[in-house]
Amino acid sequence: MQECCQQFCASMAALDTSDVLHIVRDPGGSRAIEAFLSSGAVPVKHKHRLIAKYDLVFSKLGYQICAIVKENIPV
């Protein structure tokens, strides 16, 4: 069981930046990322790797959200 957890943690930390962006856009994916980061079973080094990739995509995500909100504002 512990080996599976280690493999899962390593695979989450090894995600490409584009994959992280895709995951955080999805409501279920963002909850999975939240659970991963708040878990005490996940090594800190894996959390830092994922956060570093999230930092790279955060500006893209924020820009897209602003564009969606701007489109939905009545003039």
Per-residue pLDDT 10s for the chain (75 aa) are 567 788 888 888 898 888 888 888 888 888 888 888 888 888 899 888 888 887 766 766 665 555 444 444 444
Instruction: Specify the number of domains making up the chain.
Output: 1
Using CB atoms within 10 A of its CB, is residue 46 exposed (0-12), middle (13-18) or buried (19+)?
buried
H helix intervals, 1-75: 2-13, 17-25, 27-38, 44-72
Show the domain range for 58.
2-72
Enter the pTM of the model: 0.67
